[in-house]
Amino acid sequence: MQPSTKSTLLSSLLQSLSTETMNLYILNDVLYDYTPGMCVIAAESLEQCNQIFIEEFGHSGGSDYVNERRQKDFDTAQIKVIEGVNHPAGVVSYEYGGG
Q: What is the pLDDT of residues 45-79, one digit of tens each?
A: 999 999 999 999 987 776 788 888 889 999 999 99
The phi, psi pair for 51, rounded to 5°, reads: -60, -45
Radius of gyration of the chain from its Cα atoms, rounded to whole angstroms: 17
> How confident is the model at residue 15, as a pLDDT?
54
The answer to whether the CB of 86 falls within 8 A of the CB of 21 is yes
Q: What is the pLDDT of residue 24?
A: 97
CB 93, CB 37: distance < 8 Å: no
Q: What is the share, in percent, of the chain residues with pLDDT greater than 90?
A: 58
Residues 54/71, Cβ–Cβ less than 8 Å: yes
In a domain, 7, yes or no: no
Per-residue pLDDT at 27 exceeds 90? yes
What's the mean pLDDT when you consider all of the chain? Answer: 84
Q: What is the pLDDT of residue 56?
A: 93
Answer yes or no: is 3 within a domain. no
Domain that holds residue 58: 19-95
User: How many folded domains does the chain comprise?
Assistant: 1
**pLDDT band, very low/low/confident/very high, at 25 (cuts 50, 70, 90):** very high
Quickly list H helices, the chain. 3-18, 46-57, 64-76
Please check whether residue 12 lies inside any domain of the structure.
no
